[in-house]
Amino acid sequence: MKSLYKNLVFKSPEIKKILKHLETLASVKSHLFLIGEAGTGKREIAKIYHQMVWGSEKGFLHLNSSNIDSEIGYSTLFGYKKGSFTGATEDKRGIIDNLKTIYISSIELLPQNLHSPLLTLMEKGKYIPLGSSEAFNYEGIVIVSTTVMDKRNLKEKISDSLFYFLNSKAIEIPPLRKRDKDKIEIAKFVLNKLNKKTGNRKSFSKEFLDFIKNYHFKGNIRELINFVEKAYIESGDSDLIKIKNSDMYMLSTDNILKEAKEELLTMDELEKRYFLEIFKITGGNKTKIAKILGISRKSVYNYLKRYRLSNGKD
């Protein structure tokens, strides 16, 4: 099983639970509908599920709905009969014919004329080439995914029948902000990969790991990987990767906005918490505080007095 999960780095109970459930679904070759924010690992999970079902990486194809043309999408997927359109000089089988698993991402962008054929493919295991009256069997599985988290919104973008069928197959992939253990594991995985590539022996400072644990990476796994790679490069000749003040500022802003949303803070309380965070990050340096907040040093003094803080540093 270790090789099966080689491209999915995780330690969180949430992902372990999902993978356990997928093992059960794989035993009956169930179709699958993955729901999750961009960058949560849906494609890797789709590939893992494919391997669970078929025991091989072969026969898997990923299609993004945004790249499927409404006019030629049908004939490309399901094939066509000779004479079914201008230029169809011979029968041609569709790409579906040689696949064990087709993974269609961004289902909300799939052309409307493909909704019904896709449903027939999943419900009945049948498809009809363009211009043909003969139905062909499809023995494979279909995996569909979306980044539309609000199901009411998704229901407006796809046909009712397709929505209700997919909804019965839905598995939600939690965002990285709800998988703290995964954040550290992924960061260490990227670090080891970079060390191996460069021959360095860099490590993370405690503050850097604390930042990763507490920051809500809105871009999920992709943003975390980019953040670690950037910090690795910026660490230069040092063997210790440290956090920068600018990153701490980013974390503070993120946390305060989260608190504001959860606690419904008043404007006065929001302003106070924000100032206190900037004071902490800058070590009370009035010049830096003024620059970050875009206010005068006199205003900084007024805030220090209002919140009963020491005069700090110049």
pLDDT at 26 over 70: yes
Residue 254's pLDDT is what? 67
pLDDT at 139 over 90: yes
**Counting runs of H as helices and runs of E as strands, what totals does the chain give?**
13, 11
The DSSP code sequence of 9-69 is: ----HHHHHHHHHHHHHHTTT--EEEE--TTSSHHHHHHHHHHHHHSSSTTEEEEEGGGS-
Of residues 118 and 178, more confidence is placed in: 118
Q: What is the pLDDT of residues 270-291, one digit of tens each?
A: 888 888 878 877 778 888 888 8
Residue 55's pLDDT is what? 93
Read off the pLDDT of each residue in 66-85 and give the average, rounded to a whole number: 93
User: Bridge-partner residues for 130, per DSSP?
Assistant: 80
Among 137, 127, 123, which residue's Cα sits nearest to residue 73?
Answer: 127
Residue 248's pLDDT is what? 63
Q: Which two tokens stand for residue 104?
A: 């269609």
Ordered structural domains, the chain, with CATH: 13-174 (3.40.50.300), 177-306 (1.10.8.60)
Residue 4's pLDDT is what? 59
